Amino acid sequence: MWPIYLQSLAGGALIGLAAALYLLVDGRIAGAVGIFAGALQGPSPGFWRNLAFLAGLILGPVLYRAVFGAFPAVRIDASLGALALAGLFVGFGARLGSGCTSGHGVCGLARLSRRSIVAVATFMATAIATVALMNAAGIP
Amino acid sequence: MTKQIPQQLPQLGAALLSGLIFGFGLALSGMLNPARVRGFLDIFGHFDASLAFVLAGAVAVSTAGYALSRRLKAPLLDDAFHIPERAAIDRALVLGAALFGVGWGIGGFCPGPGVAALALGLPAAFVFTAAMAVGVLAHDYWRRDRGPAIERAALAVEQADA
C-alpha cells in the first residue's frame, strides 16, 4: 500500500471527518470514552445513539478488511495483566479528565478549548514518561 | 424509551456511520497497533513520528467541521449543539488526563482503538476494554453525586419522564 505517513494522514483525516459528521448531524462531540461511558450507563436518552456509534466503531476494521483483504497489522508487547492495568487507568483517568485522545485531542483541539489543550499536553507528557520509564526498566 | 427509537432512527444512522468512518480511519491510520502507538510515545528511544500525521489530519478536518458548525443554528438532526462549555482548568481535568496518559503509555491503547480492536478478536483488546469499562464505572460510581450540573439536570428530567 501507500507510504505509511500518507496512510496515517488519510486515516487521521477520516477520523476528523467522522468527528465533523457527528457534530454537524447529531450535534455532539465524538469523544470515544464519553460515548463508551454513555453506553455503559444503560437506558438513558443517549443510550442507543452511543451504542450505534460503538457498533460502527467495531465495524470499521471489518470494513477495512473488506476493502484491503486483511485486518491491519497489530503487535502487542504488553502482558494481559499490564493491559488490564492500562484499561483501569485509561477508563478512570479519561472519565475524571472529561475526555480522551478523541474528545480532547481530535475535537477539543479543533475547538481550541483551553481545557483540551491542557489535557492533551498532560496526557502526552505522562504517556511519554510512562513509555520511557518502562523501556528503562525493561518492561515490555 | 423504546418508542423513541423510531423517531431517533436518522440520528442513530448518523452515529453508526460516524463510528464506522472513525473505526475505518483508526484501522488505516495505524492507531490500532499498540506497538506503533508506543513507538510514537517513545520520543527518547525508537521514536516513530508517523502517528503525528494522524492527529494532524484529524484536527485539520475536525477544525473545518467545527468552523462550519458555528455558522449553523443547530445540527441537522437535533435542536441544539451539545458542546461542553466548561472553561475551568481544575484538578480533576489535570489528574484525570495524567492517569489516562499513564494507562495509554502502558498498553498503547486509548478508548476508541480499544473498542475498534475488538473486531480483530484479540484477547488483549477484550482484556483492555473490559478493564476500561471497570475504570469508567468505578469513576462514575465514585463521582455519582458530583457530576456536572447539566448531567444531573438531564438525569432529573429523565427520571421525571419515567
pLDDT surpassing 70 at residue B4: no
**Chain B residue nearest residue A104, CA to CA:** B97
pLDDT at B158 over 80: no
Range of the domain at B141: 2-161
The region of weakest confidence among B23-32, B110-119, B141-150 is: B141-150
Is the pLDDT confidence value at B10 over 70? yes
- Residue (of A29, A125, A63) closest to B94 by Cα position: A125
Region A42-58: what's the mean pLDDT? 92
State how far the Cα of A13 lies from the Cα of A29, in Å rounded to an integer.
Answer: 16
Domain that holds residue A124: 77-140
Q: Do B112 and A57 contact (CB within 8 A), yes or no?
A: yes
Q: Map grid coordinates 462514575 to a residue.
A: B140
Task: Give the residue from A74, A75, A102, A130 with the most B CB atoms within 10 Å of its CB, the best one to mutate.
Answer: A74
Q: Quote the CA–CA distance of B140 and A76 in Å, as a whole number.
A: 29
pLDDT band at B67 (very low <50, low <70, confident <90, very high): very high
Contact B106 A86 (CB under 8 A): yes
Q: How far apart are CA B19 and CA B27, in angstroms?
A: 12
Task: Sort out which chain A residues have CB atoms less than 8 A from B158's CB and list them.
Answer: 44-45
Residue showing cell 504517556: A127
Looking at residue A44, its pLDDT comes to 80
Backbone angles phi, psi at A47, to 5 degrees: -55, -50
Nearest to A44 among B51, B114, B158 (CB): B158
* 3-class DSSP state of A28: strand
Q: Kindly state the average pLDDT of the residues A40-62.
A: 93
- Give the chain B residue nearest A107 (alpha carbons): B62
Residues of A in contact with B9 (CB under 8 A): none
How many residues appear in chain A? 140
Residue A111 in any domain: the answer is yes
Q: How many Cβ atoms sit within 10 Å of the Cβ of residue A77?
A: 14
In 3D, which of B28, B40, B31 has the Cα closest to residue A71?
B28
Select the residue from A5, A53, A57 to test the B interface by mutation, using most B Cβ atoms within 10 A. Answer: A57
Determine, for residues B56 and A95 on separate chains, whether the beta-carbon distance falls below 8 Å.
no
pLDDT at B150: 46
Q: Residue B159's pLDDT is what?
A: 45
How close is the nearest chain A Cα to the Cα of B154, in Å? 9
Q: Which percentage of chain A shows pLDDT scores above 70?
A: 99
**Using an 8 Å Cβ cutoff, are B155 and A42 in contact?**
no
> Cα–Cα distance between B111 and B129 in angstroms, integer?
8
Mean pLDDT of chain B: 90
Cβ A91–B138 below 8 Å, yes or no? Answer: yes
Contacts A19 to B, Cβ<8 Å: 18, 22, 58, 61-62, 65
For A26, the closest of B60, B62, B75 (CB atoms) is B75
Answer whether residue A63 is part of any domain: no
Task: For residue A49, list its beta bridge partners.
Answer: none
pLDDT at A65: 98
Counting the structural domains of chain A, the total is 1
- With cut-offs at 50, 70 and 90, classify the pLDDT of residue B7: low
Q: How many domains does chain B have?
A: 1
Residue B153 contacts A where some CB pair is shorter than 8 Å: no
pLDDT tier at A42, thresholds 50, 70, 90: confident
pLDDT score recorded for residue B145: 76
Grade residue A27 by pLDDT with cuts at 50, 70 and 90: very high
CB contact under 8 A, B65 and A95: no
Q: At CA A71, angle to CA A35 and CA B52, rounded to 5?
A: 65
What cell numbers appear for B141 in the block? Answer: 460510581
Q: Is the pLDDT of residue B6 over 80?
A: no
Q: Could you tell me if A85 lies within 8 Å of chain B, comparing CB atoms?
A: yes
State the pLDDT at residue B74. Answer: 97
| pTM passes above 0.95 | no
Is the confidence at residue A106, as pLDDT, over 80?
yes
pLDDT-derived band of residue A69, with 50, 70 and 90 as boundaries?
very high
**DSSP letters of A45-84?**
TTHHHHHHHHHHHHHHHHHHHHHHSSPPP----S-HHHHH
Of all residues in chain B, what percent carry a pLDDT higher than 70? 85
pLDDT-derived band at A36 (thresholds 50, 70, 90) equals: very high
Rounded to the nearest 10 degrees, what angle do helices B34-41 and A114-137 cross at? 100
- Band of pLDDT at residue B153, cut at 50, 70 and 90: very low
